[in-house]
Structure 1
Amino acid sequence: MALSVVQVRRSMAELKPPILVIGGTRSGTSMLARVLGNAPGLVCWYEPNTLWRIGHAYRSSERATVADARPWVKRRIRREFLKFQESHGGLRVVEKSPPNALRISFVHAILPEAKIVHIYRDGRAMLRSQMDRYEHFVSYDIKKGAHREHVLERLRITPWWEWPAYAGRFVDGLSRRLLGRKVGWFGIRHPGWKADRRTLDRVQVIAKQWAVALEHSLPELESLPRESWLNLRYEDVVTDPDRWFREICRFCEVEPGEEFFKDVRERVHAGSLHKWKDELTPEELGLAMPIMEPMLRRLGYLQEPVAAAV
């Protein structure tokens, strides 16, 4: 049903500026959003992925641009943010969806008042983490209340005419769970992901997911007004969480109090920073590094030439 002019103006006027945590898969977005969402006055909305695909749900990749932010799409997404805010007592929304790394300009066009907190991580650590997810991740178990509610919420926020776009993915996930098979795809769907899945090794696909997300997100961030975004290095945040969460709160105009920072110090740690060095094989690094090296070097993770794989 179309929104009235009064309803649209109400949404535009009353929605508190959301805080959008953005970063590629396994880059620290879950940690950041969940910790920040515990601050007084804030609430975390965890991966309402179908919401951000409204208007282009039938597209193969999750990439979107300003051109996709048509008026009706903007109204619909903003309305859902306002609904979530109101259903949680008017708390300001902290939202995170990793595919938004492919569509930051689109996201900003929808929510120009939002504060974007972008986080990135050493691609080799992300590779190790995501390979682990392929081994252990299971799709939603609709017998579990929390999983069922999440699926129902996605149905509710998705226009009915876009439901068929997700039918194949839902059936695949359900059949894999019933048959005890591992997940077939995990993470963002970058442009060309289907061809990559057919022609590349899984290690190469994951490496490309990491690199492509940053190739899109970094220049799009820099095209936005400087006061609208903050760019963070995961390793810095977990090494000195007190300092960086204070900076995040300052940027987002949040004053959570010292109890929040006590919680930060207890929950955020740097224990897994270098696990990739022990767990990735030379063969895996040999497949990943030709794809990752340019971005790793750009971000300062590499200073020396990479030795050729033996």
Structure 2
Amino acid sequence: MQSDRPVFVIGCPRSGTTMLQLMLHSHPRLAVPPETRFLVPAYFSRRAYGDMRLADNRRKLAAWIAEGRNTKFRELGIDAADFVQAAMHGPGSFGSVIGMVFKCYAERFGKPRWGDKRPSYYRHVEMLVRMFPDAQFVHLIRDGRDCVASLKQMPWYKPDSVHAMANWAEAIDFGRRHARKLPSDSFYELRYEDLTTDPETELKKLCAFIGEDYDPAMCEPRHMAEVAVPKHKVWHINTHTEVTTAHSGKWASRLEPWEIALCEEVLGERLTAHGYELTGAPRASRQQVAAFKVATGKRRSARLRKYNRDRLTRLREPGPIAALLTEGQRSLAGLPQQRVRELLVR
């Protein structure tokens, strides 16, 4: 039986996750949409929607996803009324309503399997596993100096380069934790530089991980950019061109000498562990190292506050969380196999 497990692409922002999303979306069996904005906030607000075993509660959550101002649902090209009806008639669990969005998106392209991409999901893997217990995660890693240099140029990234360094360090540290805790068939890491140097080899290995046959179309993701990258995201302009190694190593000319020094001092162990060579730059100043530690401390404190609030919510869960849309999810719940298309409402 071919796999129907959901696939999540994660990594530090500006690691090439959109390129990888398009590569996966180019596969004839897998649909991976542009980034949405509903999954994480919906999960942390789940008590407000109540028990998903009640159809009216499923309708309320689905309506918020479809009609919310910031959910990006409109960019998916799905009919809102059809989705709401599918959610109402689908399984009674929170993850099932969320997953139904992506299931409908896959149906739009005539594909049996779906994925999702958002870099910051690396912080929410435990949450995603609660919703999709059979999920597979692909962690894309890029040279942290290139990520910092790229983030500096993004119109939507307001923090400074020190915070960008803290962001990359956090993504790497979470990746290490996930690699230790998750089964080998659930978590996979690859480097952006390897993917752009030899995309066919790397994609064949990735396809083996997700349980799919490799398709050559995956090496030409630019053909999918027109339909799977919103036009307003001008910072993804490179996705409309061929896969290239030209964007690797640009940090050498884009970062200031003090930024290179700080990167290599505070990120050095992580960089070398993933095969990135250091330049031997002079040591960063104490003030700059202290600023990095402050940035990492703020990120840690924010995560802990959210985590502790969610621990309280878990003590009073409003209803079932795990999705019941795939064969793996239903098997884990002790349910029989589903009939083809039984969840879709026309």
* TM-score band, normalised by shorter chain: 0.5 to 0.7
Contact 1:282 1:309 in 2 (8 A): no
Which of structures 1 and 2 has the bigger CA Rg?
Answer: 2
User: Residues 32 and 249 of structure 1: is their aligned pair in 2 closer, same or farther, counting only changes over 3 Å?
Assistant: same
Q: Does 1:273 align with 2:248?
A: yes
Residue in 2 that maps onto 1:84: 105
For residue 223 of structure 1, report the CA deviation from its aligned partner.
Answer: 0.6
Which residue matches 2:32? 44
Q: Over aligned residue pairs, what C-alpha RMSD do you find?
A: 2.8
- 1:230 and 2:188 matched: yes
1:254 equivalent in structure 2: 212
Aligned to 2:283: 308
Which whole-Å deviations, capped at 9, do the CAs of 1:31-67 have from their partners, x for residues lacking one? 1111221121222211123213323259xxxxxxxxx
CA distance in 2, matches of 1:287, 1:247: 34
Change in Cα spacing, 1:89 to 1:204, as seen in structure 2 (3 Å) is: same
- Paired residue for 1:9? none
Which ranges of structure 2 fall in alignment gaps of 5 or more residues?
47-91, 223-240, 286-346
- The whole-number CA distance in structure 1 between the counterparts of 2:157 and 2:177 is 30
Query: Which residue number corresponds to residue 165 of structure 2?
Result: 207
Quote the residue 1:30 is aligned against: 18
Amino acid at match of 2:220: D
Q: CA deviation at 1:19?
A: 1.9
Corresponding residue for 2:143? 122
| Partners of 1:241 and 1:264 within 8 A in 2 | no
For residues 112 and 93 of structure 2, the distance between their equivalents in structure 1, rounded to whole angstroms, comes to 25
Q: How far is 1:184 from its partner?
A: 5.9
Mean Cα displacement is larger for which, 234-243 or 42-51?
42-51
Moved more, 84-93 or 112-121: 84-93
TM-score, normalization by structure 2: 0.57
Cα distance per residue 1:77-131 (max 9 Å; x no partner): 2333333333443442131111111122222232222222111111001011111
Deviations 1:10-43 (A, max 9, x none): xxxxx93222111110111111111221121222
User: What's 2:120 paired with?
Assistant: 99
| 1:256 Cα deviation from its structure 2 partner | 4.6
Deviations 1:128-162 (A, max 9, x none): 111111xxx3xxxxxxxxxxxxxxxxxxxxxxxxx
Query: Sequence identity, in percent?
Result: 27
Structure 1 pair 296–184 and aligned structure 2 pair: CA distance change class (3 A): closer
Equivalent position SS for 2:43: coil
Matched residue count: 220
8 Å contact kept, 1:20–1:114: yes
- Asked which structure has the greater RCO (Cα within 8 Å, sep 6+), the reply is 2
- The answer (yes or no) to whether the contact 2:204–2:214 under 8 Å persists in 1 is no
Distance 2:18 2:157 in 1: 21
- Whether 1:263 and 2:220 are equivalent positions in the alignment is yes
Instruction: Give the CA deviation at 1:303.
Output: 6.1
Partners of 1:100 and 1:43 in 2: CA distance: 18
Q: Which residue of 2 aligns with 1:66?
A: none
- How high is the TM-score relative to the length of structure 1? 0.63
- AA in 1 matched with 2:248: L
Give the partner amino acid of 1:16.
Answer: D
Taking the aligned partners of 2:242 and 2:43, their CA distance within structure 1 comes to: 38
Q: Secondary structure at the match of 2:267?
A: helix
Greater CA drift, 288-297 or 241-250: 288-297
Q: Which amino acid aligns with 2:10?
A: I
Change (3 A) 1:249 1:309: same
Q: Give unmatched runs, 5+ long, in structure 1.
A: 1-14, 59-70, 138-182, 186-196
Q: Distance in 2 between matches of 1:99 and 1:261?
A: 24
Q: 1-side partners of 2:215 and 2:284: how far apart?
A: 50
Asked if structure 2 preserves the Cα contact closer than 8 Å seen for 1:19 and 1:114, the reply is: yes
Residue 241 of structure 1: how far off its partner (Å): 1.0
Partner residue, 2:177: 219
The farther-off stretch of 107-116 and 226-235 is: 107-116
Task: Quote how far apart the aligned CAs of 1:74 are.
Answer: 2.6
Deviations, residues 200-241 of structure 1 (Å, cap 9, x unaligned): xx1101110111122123212321111112110111111111
